Structures are given as structure tokens and as C-alpha cells.
Amino acid sequence: MKNVLVIGSTGQIGSELTMLLRKLIPEGNIVAGYIAGAEPKGDLLESGPAELANVCKADELATIVDKYKIDTIYNLAALLSAVAESKPLLAWDIQMNGLLNILEIAKEKKCAVFTPSSIGSFGPNTPKDNTPQDTIQRPSSMYGVTKVATELLSDYYFKKFGVDTRSVRFPGLISNVTLPGGGTTDYAVDIYYSAVKGEEFVCPIKAGTFMDMMYMPDGLKAAIDIMNADPTKLIHRNAFNIASMSFDPEILYKKIKEYIPDFTMRYEFDPVRQAIADSWPNNMDDSCAREEWGWKPSYDLDSMTRSMIETLKKRFNK
Ligand code: SER
């Protein structure tokens, strides 16, 4: 991996992944791909090349791949789960037609491709606890439908055309640089912002709803390590379960209160997000990722909470 195109570089994952890749590969071209209306700013804009890279415009993507001799594409363009329920056709267009454009270019120009999958690729009849790597995937959300199809199409392009596709199933990612927006697990990010700002948090997910979650530094590590993994050791490809912690809103609230005792939270559940959350696993078994490419997270709930609060306190001068 040397010359990399990050599509969706101004989003929650992209904004941090692009900067990290520029730090790790200073000799490479790490191109920040963006769409009109979501232009990069500040460090992201100034520290390297940036190009309009709309997944629905194959010509635009092919030109960038040629111009920068791109060898690896991080395809992070997606509508998250709750917003995809309100715009299912747009979600399909971005997630599926966009992916086909990328895979075709990758086939022709010999690029490796990472397109994230998610806990959202599972559904109500998937085993909820210790969810196996290979199991039932019959999701009930449009987001989930596109994620399962992404896994299948990525494996197909690897087997049929030798395109080096690899991926992970991300848990809810908790971060403090760019807000997610439109996801079911967003509450676990928003809660920290409310706590640090001294505001009451209104939780859209019911107590007792467990989901896998992960701190962004571990998520970035996974996205990079899987692309650098020894291909001869990979039995699976699209996509690996990865896990680091699982909690419900009540456990998270109590953990934050250990550091901010005055913090308050009340519940006002959102039926769309709750139905999605109820259909997802409580916690995934990530033993295949550990065995095949040495996956190991660094953060648990306590160390993540300390880091989130410390970072946001500095940001908001609290
Ligand atoms: N974080 C995503 C969402 O909530 C799931 O991968 O939509």
C-alpha cells in the first residue's frame, strides 16, 4: 500500500484514516476523495492531495486512479443505517452501484479494495451472542441488505477476477473528530458530547439493548492491518468480525458518570433505530480475525471513556 484513494475522506472514518495514512506512508500519495458539499478543510486539505471522487461517477474515479497511480482504494462512501431507511434507493445507489464502479476500476487497474461491512450485515435470526464469523445473514434494514451484498460482491470479484478485496465488519465506531450522523450506534458518540458540555442526554436506544462498539483508533488499526495482512493466511476476506467491547446505554451512562458525576440521561426511544438495534448482535466472535491476521484491540470501555472525555474537554475548554 503506497498510493491510496480514500473515498468519503470527510466522513467519520475517512477524516481520521486519511490523516493516519499520510503519517504512516509519507512517501505515498494519500488522496482525500470527497463529494460536492462535503469538501475537506484544514489539515485534511492542506496535508495532501484532494479530489472530487463521487462513487457514482466511474470516469471521475478512473482519472484519479491513473493520475496518482493508486494501488489501494478505501471505499467509505455510505448512508448509515437509520438514514438509509428513509432513503433506501439512494443507499442502494451509493452502496451497490458505487461499489460496482470501484470494483470494475480495481479489476482493470489492479487496485486492492477495502469496503467496510458492519454489525448491520446481521439480522433478527442471526445468533445474538458470540455471533460466529460464518452464520445466518438475513438483515432487515436496507443498510444491512447493502452490506451483505457488498461482502458477496467483493468475494466474487476476488474469486472470479483476482481483485484483492478485504474487509471487516465494524461495530459502532466511537470517535471525537468527525460526528457519524444517521447511524443506529451514534448515541454512543453523542452521549460523550452531551456529558462534556454539561447537557442532559436524551437516549434514542432502550436500556438493555447491547451492541458491539469500538473506539476509532482500534477501528483504524483494523482497516490498515487487514490491508497489510499476509494474503496466504487469509481464509476469509469479506468480511471479518472484529470486536472490542459490548454495552447497553445504561452501562455506558454509568461509566461516564464515574468521571462526570453530575451527568444526567433520560430515554426517549426512536422506533426506527430501536428496531434496527434489536435486529443486530449483542456481541460478535472475532476469533477468525485474531487467528488469520492477528487482530487485537487496545481499548476497553474504561480506557476509551477516559480518552474521549479528556479529548472533548480540551476541545470545548471544559
Ligand atoms: N454504525 C453503523 C450504524 O449505526 C453500523 O455500522 O449505522
Residue 157 among the catalytic residues: no
Apex CA 156: angle with CA 6 and CA 231, to 5°?
A: 65
Q: What is the mean pLDDT of the chain?
A: 98
Count of beta carbons in the 10 Å neighbourhood of residue 215: 25
Q: Quick check: CB of 183 below 6 Å from ligand 1? A: yes
Residue 27 is predicted with a pLDDT of: 97
Residue 313 is predicted with a pLDDT of: 98
The H-or-E segment that residue 32 falls in is strand 30-34
Torsion angle of C-alpha atoms 308, 309, 311, 315, degrees rounded to 10: 130
Residue 172 is predicted with a pLDDT of: 98
Contact 125, 75 (CB under 8 A): no
178, 185, 189, 213, best to mutate for ligand 1 pocket (most atoms within 8 Å of CB): 185
Q: What percent of the chain has a predicted confidence (pLDDT) above 70?
A: 100
Which candidate in 34, 68, 143, 192 is catalytic?
A: 143
Q: Quick check: CB of 170 below 6 Å from ligand 1? A: yes
Residue 299 is predicted with a pLDDT of: 98
Task: Using a cut of 0.75, tell me whether the model's pTM lies above it.
Answer: yes
Q: What percent of the chain has a predicted confidence (pLDDT) above 90?
A: 100
- Helix 249-259 crosses helix 187-197 at what angle (to 10 degrees)? 30
pLDDT per residue as tens digits for the range 43-65: 999 999 999 999 999 999 999 99
86, 95, 119, 209, best to mutate for ligand 1 pocket (most atoms within 8 Å of CB): 119
pLDDT per residue as tens digits for the range 2-35: 999 999 999 999 999 999 999 999 999 999 999 9
The H-or-E segment that residue 257 falls in is helix 249-259
pLDDT per residue as tens digits for the range 214-239: 999 999 999 999 999 999 999 999 99
Give CA–CA dist 122/145, Å, rounded: 9
Residue 148 is predicted with a pLDDT of: 98
C-alpha cell at 296: 487485537
Please report the DSSP string for 178-213 in residue order.
Answer: S---S-STTHHHHHHHHHHHTPPEEESS-TT--EEE
Q: Quick check: CB of 80 below 6 Å from ligand 1? A: yes
pLDDT per residue as tens digits for the range 148-170: 999 999 999 999 999 999 999 99
- Distance (angstroms) between ligand 1 centre and the Cα of 109 equals 31
